[in-house]
């Protein structure tokens, strides 16, 4: 009985924290008409994105409220005609510059080096840099709204997390965990106020940074060999004395990260080992998640069969509290709450398996992404 009470209390506390984060501490930039006077460079790294760059680039060309907008695109060794698609979509628009990337030198991973080339090869006039991935589609005032929020927050780096589009069962099981994890376990208010680099979160799909602060932190050169270059960049900003902020960008951007289960599986596999660090820490974290969110419905059924209704009731309460936390997270970030939240225990199991797979493949030096090794 006592272990069940402890689980209920812990899950209740975590769900309460999710609610506080989602309702009181999460920044929500407005999506309405707003204008900025600063010069802004939107930086778009591309590697074999011919089949999905068009909506992204068209949305960038349609941005409003940024009179001095530059769009700088880097073709990072694509072999599928990405550069030709960019030229066809951009036409003769003078705001667009297409750069040809070079292979990363020793000690660099592909994504950080592509971003570093963009940041250092673009016009020096823009005071704000906005990094955008090819699978992100921005709303018309997204860049202007994000820059406005960056300045209002007094931050060096702002991460407006896009609304994640889900279509398949795998999407619906795994993708909402991204927002749920940081809303449940990361104290957002403390993250913004504390100078500790360990208290940092960011999503590389859409990142807005003050250019001077970015360079002071070392930019992507400071995270050259990091798989999670977005989070590590946020930590580098903190180490250099800057501030970071996380925002709900559901009204500013939408993102379909992966088109298939193999893509989703491999995308998470390449980076989960870097999220947890030492394998022992990963094992403890996954075990706790399974105990708090997957075990309760199993215990509830087992207790009912064994004739222990009090234990069954407590386990059911823990399960429902976990479901509530997942639903709160989805509502706060433009996601789908029902009936997906009911499968939260299964989501946690899949996350645990992906984490195990990530460490397993890394140990065998078999982690790759876009044809390049990542560890």
DSSP H or E stretch at residue 349: helix 344-363
Instruction: Note the pTM of the prediction, 2 decimals.
Output: 0.91
* pLDDT tens readout for residues 311-325: 999 999 999 999 999
Instruction: Tell me the CB-side half-sphere exposure of residue 237, using CA atoms within 13 A.
Output: 31
Q: Smallest Cα–Cα separation from 130: which of 175, 172, 70?
A: 70
**pLDDT band (50, 70, 90) for residue 260:** confident
Distances (CA, A) of 326 to 188, 265, 337: 17, 21, 7
- Which residues are within 8 A (CB) of 328 and not within 5 positions of it... i.e. 6 or more apart? 15, 18, 19, 22, 183
Dist CA 43 CA 38 (whole Å): 16
Dist CA 144 CA 160 (whole Å): 12
The pLDDT, as a whole number, for residue 375 is 62
Q: Smallest Cα–Cα separation from 332: which of 267, 274, 260, 249?
A: 249
pLDDT at 241 over 90: yes
Coil, helix or strand at residue 146: helix
The answer to which of 55-64, 106-115, 363-372 has the lowest mean pLDDT is 363-372
pLDDT at 149 over 70: yes
Peptide bond into 313 cis (omega under 30): no
Dist CA 82 CA 90 (whole Å): 12
pLDDT at 292 over 70: yes
**pLDDT band (50, 70, 90) for residue 152:** very high
Q: Which two tokens stand for residue 290?
A: 């399974």
The pLDDT, as a whole number, for residue 307 is 84
Contact 206, 253 (CB under 8 A): yes
Contact 70, 119 (CB under 8 A): no
Dist CA 239 CA 24 (whole Å): 27
* pLDDT tens readout for residues 213-239: 999 999 999 999 998 999 999 999 999
Q: For all residues of the chain together, what is the average pLDDT?
A: 92
Task: Give the pLDDT mean for 299-318.
Answer: 91
Angle between helices 309-332 and 344-363 (to 10 degrees): 80
User: What is the residue-wise DSSP string for 63-106?
Assistant: --S-TTEEEEEEE-S-SSSHHHHHHHHHTT-TTEEEEE--PPPT
Q: Smallest Cα–Cα separation from 349: which of 177, 167, 163, 165?
A: 177
Q: Smallest Cα–Cα separation from 170: which of 36, 346, 375?
A: 346
Q: Smallest Cα–Cα separation from 331: which of 180, 154, 137?
A: 180
């Amino acid at each position: 009985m006592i272990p069940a009470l402890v689980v209920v209390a812990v899950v209740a506390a975590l769900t309460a924290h999710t609610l506080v984060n989602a309702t009181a501490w999460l920044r929500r930039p407005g999506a309405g008409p707003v204008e900025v006077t600063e010069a802004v460079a939107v930086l778009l790294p591309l590697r074999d994105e011919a089949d999905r760059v068009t909506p992204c680039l068209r949305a960038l060309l349609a941005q409003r409220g940024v009179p001095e907008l530059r769009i700088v695109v880097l073709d990072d060794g694509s072999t599928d005609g990405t550069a030709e698609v960019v030229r066809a979509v951009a036409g003769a628009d003078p705001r667009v510059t297409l750069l040809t990337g070079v292979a990363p030198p020793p000690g660099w991973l592909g994504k950080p080096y592509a971003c570093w080339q963009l940041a250092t090869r673009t016009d020096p006039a823009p005071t704000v840099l906005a990094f955008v991935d090819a699978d992100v589609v921005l709303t018309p005032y997204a860049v202007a709204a994000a820059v406005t929020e960056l300045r209002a927050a007094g931050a060096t780096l702002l991460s407006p997390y896009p609304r994640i589009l889900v279509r398949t069962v795998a999407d619906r099981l795994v993708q909402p965990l991204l927002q749920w994890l940081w809303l449940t376990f990361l104290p957002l208010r403390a993250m913004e106020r504390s100078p500790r680099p360990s208290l940092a979160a960011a999503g590389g799909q859409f990142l807005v940074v003050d250019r001077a602060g970015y360079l002071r932190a070392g930019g992507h050169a400071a995270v050259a060999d990091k798989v999670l270059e977005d989070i590590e960049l946020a930590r580098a900003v903190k180490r250099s004395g800057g501030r970071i902020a996380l925002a709900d960008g559901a009204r500013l951007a939408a993102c379909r990260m992966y088109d298939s289960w193999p893509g989703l599986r491999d995308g998470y596999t390449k980076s989960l080992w870097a999220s947890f660090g030492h394998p022992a820490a990963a094992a403890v974290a996954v075990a706790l998640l399974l105990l708090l969110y997957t075990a309760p419905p199993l215990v509830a059924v087992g207790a009912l069969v064994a004739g222990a209704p009090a234990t069954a009731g407590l386990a059911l309460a823990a399960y429902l509290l976990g479901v509530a936390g997942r639903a709160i997270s989805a509502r706060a970030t433009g996601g789908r709450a029902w009936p997906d939240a009911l499968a939260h225990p299964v989501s946690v199991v899949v996350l645990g398996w992906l984490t195990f797979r990530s460490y397993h493949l890394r140990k065998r030096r078999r982690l790759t992404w876009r044809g390049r090794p990542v560890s």
